[in-house]
Amino acid sequence: MNDLFAIAIHGGAGTLSRERFSTSVRQQYENALQQALQAGLHVLQNGGRSLDAVEASVIALEDCPLFNAGCGAVFDALGGHSMDAAIMNGSTLEAGAVAGISGFKNPIRVARAVMEKSRYVFLSGQGASDFAREHGCAEAAADYFYTEFRYNEWKQVQEKEQQNIVEKRFGTVGAVALDRDGTLAAATSTGGLTNKKYGRVGDSPVIGSGTYANNNSCAVSCTGDGEQFIQAVTAYDISCQLEYKQLTLQDACVHTMERLGSIKGSGGLIAVDRFGNIQMPFNTEGMYRACASSNAPTQVKIFD
């Protein structure tokens, strides 16, 4: 065990504009980020595992109605909440993911149960819900996930779609961490795109696209246009540049964000490498984010 540890979290990059932010709203978001960071940091400071740290931070963000995951998730086209989540252990490359689950309080716990209690990596829809129920994951009624803000947003998106205007509203939460044992982990959880149809699944639960961790390189959690993040295999793209080309995390992030931009993907990501370096790039107006490490002070930021 050594002294080095690091953690970064995000609360999405989708629905941010400076005009919407009064000082008090900004304060609410910053407090929520601070609390979620502390949940994971506490685990790491006490010598705990990065997997537990990323899960703890993501649970705090899922439980907070401000973010698009768990309570506060966006509405899908049927007026429900359909959620995706993934978690990955960088020391074993074990991973667990779920897509299109409804009615479970903390989708990230379901993803972790898939990783640790099944022989599968990725479960979806009704089957994933059956699995979650069998494994005692906490359930919640539909009104638990309801927020007025998301409801109004859904209605606006529906109106625009009737006029054939595509307006993307999204958001996601995620965490990456390095623990004192040198193990990296990543976790991501989302309600996906507002008014999504046809069982649409974004990048968040797709291992290598929205979530990835490998002790030889880094841990990454993404947020943004899920389709483009899948096309760019974003999280794995960063890992490969570290592992195969020995690039720094910073350079790898620059290249990957350029690639993403070239296919019109907007959003951002958080990443931590095996040396505890942290990067949090984005090409949107802002990204809810926070980080801390054993050798750097806590940062909580929304805009540039």
Residue 172 a catalytic site member: yes
Residue 220 in 3-state DSSP? strand
| Residues with Cβ within 8 Å of residue 6, at least 6 apart in sequence | 44, 177, 178, 272, 276, 277, 278, 291, 292, 293, 294, 296
**Distance of closest approach, residue 282 Cβ to ligand ASP, in angstroms:** 11
Is 147 exposed, middle or buried (CB count within 10 Å of its CB: 0-12, 13-18, 19+)?
A: middle
Element (DSSP H or E) covering residue 62: helix 50-62
Catalytic residue among 15, 92, 172, 256: 172
Q: Which two tokens stand for residue 235?
A: 């999280």
| Nearest distance, CB of residue 146 and ligand ASP, angstroms | 19
Cα 94-97-98 angle, rounded to 5 deg? 160
Binding site for ligand ASP (CB under 6 A): 12, 14, 170-172, 190, 192-193, 202-204, 210, 223-224, 226, 229, 267
Q: Based on CB atoms, which residue is closest to ligand ASP, 149 or 275?
A: 149
Residue 48 vs 226, nearer CB to ligand ASP? 226
Tell me how far, at minimum, the Cβ of 67 lies from ligand ASP, in Å: 10
Q: Which is nearer to ligand ASP, 44 or 176 (CB)?
A: 176
E strands in the chain: 6-10, 83-89, 95-101, 122-124, 173-178, 184-190, 211-213, 218-224, 267-273, 278-279, 289-293, 296-301
| CB nearer to ligand ASP: pick between 115 and 260 | 260
- Nearest distance, CB of residue 286 and ligand ASP, angstroms: 13
Residue 293's φ and ψ, nearest 5 degrees, are -150, 175
* Minimum separation from the CB atom of position 287 to ligand ASP (A): 10
Q: Looking at beta carbons only, is 40 or 205 nearer to ligand ASP?
A: 205
- Residues annotated as catalytic are 172
